[in-house]
Structure 1
Amino acid sequence: MFLTYIVPLSILIPILIGLFNYKNLQTSGKFVFYYLVASGLINLAAIVLVAFRMTNLPLLHLYTIVEAVLLLSYFRTIFTNHLIRKFLLYIIIIFPLLCIINFTFIQSIFTFNTYTRPLEAILITFFCLLYLYKSGFTENWINKQTSWFNMGILLYFPVVCIIFILSNYMVFVSKNKELNLMIWQFHAIMSMVMYLAMAKGFSLTKTDG
């Protein structure tokens, strides 16, 4: 119940707050909003597939592409450095191609994408840390929309990267169901933490400079 329904539905909190403040969102906030909406729709499709006892793993491959493109596009809007923005544009184009190559020739679309998913997490974490390094902490940092978006990203992606790497091992090799459930419950909790941080960010749109 917690993994299948409560966590996916918790994404409605930032979506509803973002929708309410949509007209006040900057371009960066809109990319985060689009990411959450896309995530919610894909999660809904995954729940439907589970209800019909069908595998939803192909959706994970699609989700990885959508998530990476939208979040990297978000970072491209908040960086001011031309070279970084250009580099991000190249990654936004190349990464989906790598995902397609992976599920076409390397990893089956019916298994966890343990190559591209961790790579995505590393890329997003890197650019989040780079932005934090470039921008620094200002006096008004805690009241900025992007600060809460980045906080949610940094609490989620680095922590769960190891889960993405070991996903196939835990399911198909270890077969320790209790450990597997515990790990994915932890993943679910971190997802909720990210959603709540992003909800806080959307609530600050009117005061964000």
Structure 2
Amino acid sequence: MREDFFFILGNVSTFIVVIPLLISVLRFRLLTTVQLKLVHLLILVLIVESISNILWRKKINNLPVYHLYTIIEFLLIIRIYWSTLSQLVSKKLLVGISVIFVVLAVLNTIFFQSIYVFNSNITTLLSILVILFSLSFFYITLKDVEYTALEKNPMFWINSGFLIYFSSNLILFFINNYLFEKSTEASFLIWGLHAIVNIVLIMFYTIAVWVNPKKQ
């Protein structure tokens, strides 16, 4: 498969986030709290990907952007899960997890993976934590004996997207530095698969901002 195909696929994967953002603008007054929290994450993604693409086109290392992005992304994700996870664990524990993650991210950048290297250690940790959050959501949902229409629950779509995305990319995040060093056909294939999974994630985001549950 040619590099130009992966270039096009990468651009689609990057800027498809505009679709759920446009929908959220059109439905802004109808959005629930969880949907608004997702919009904040979508705005962050658009800003980071735009800056990253500009730097890449100017042949400037864009990896420092992702060191900061990973921290903010995690904080926004745990904010999305906050009300759900607080039913299972204490809010103090969630705050503790957030603080520890930020500290580890900073220490990793200072001592192990500089801002000019992909922070695979922290993205791997991020993936593991979000997978745990996702499984916890399903556990709490299954424990609830009251019938709820999951297809109308934006959190269900967000959670499912997270589980698919971070599970699929767990290995990729871990071996990312090796892929950066060698632009082989295999590395392009893996990045192509990553782009496809990201597009799937954005599709789940789109459904999440489209559904119209009762405001809570």
| The two structures share one fold, judged by TM-score above 0.5 | yes
Amino acid at match of 1:198: Y
- In the alignment, structure 1 residue 56 sits paired with structure 2 residue 62: yes
The structural deviation recorded for 1:176 is 5.1
Deviations 1:95-131 (A, max 9, x none): 1221111111111111111111100011011011111
- Rounded to whole Å, the distance in 2 between the matches of 1:46 and 1:91 is 28
Structure 1's 84 and 126: CA in aligned 2 closer, same or farther, altered over 3 A?
A: farther
State how 1:26-105 maps to structure 2 within 5 Å. Answer: 26-81=32-87, 83-105=89-111
- In the alignment, structure 1 residue 146 sits paired with structure 2 residue 152: no
Amino acid at match of 1:196: M
**Which residue does 2:16 correspond to in 1?**
10
- Rounded to whole Å, the distance in 2 between the matches of 1:122 and 1:201 is 22
* Structure 1 unaligned blocks of 5 or more: none
Secondary structure in 1 aligned to 2:81?
helix
The structural deviation recorded for 1:3 is 4.5
Amino acid at match of 2:135: L
Structure 1's 119 and 55: CA in aligned 2 closer, same or farther, altered over 3 A?
A: same
Q: Percent identity, aligned pairs only?
A: 27
Aligned residue pair count: 207
- Rounded to whole Å, the distance in 2 between the matches of 1:199 and 1:63 is 21
The structural deviation recorded for 1:32 is 1.2
CA contact (8 A) 1:14 1:199 kept: yes
- In the alignment, structure 1 residue 24 sits paired with structure 2 residue 30: yes
Normalised by the length of structure 2, the TM-score is 0.89
From 175, 189, 194, give the equivalent of 1:166. Answer: 175
Deviations 1:153-199 (A, max 9, x none): 11101110110001112233xx2521111111111111111111111
Secondary structure in 1 aligned to 2:120?
coil
Deviations 1:43-89 (A, max 9, x none): 00001001111111111111111111100111013334273433222
Structure 1's 2 and 207: CA in aligned 2 closer, same or farther, altered over 3 A?
A: farther
- Rounded to whole Å, the distance in 2 between the matches of 1:189 and 1:63 is 21
- RMSD value over aligned CA atoms? 1.8
Secondary structure in 2 aligned to 1:111?
coil
**Which residue does 2:3 correspond to in 1?**
none
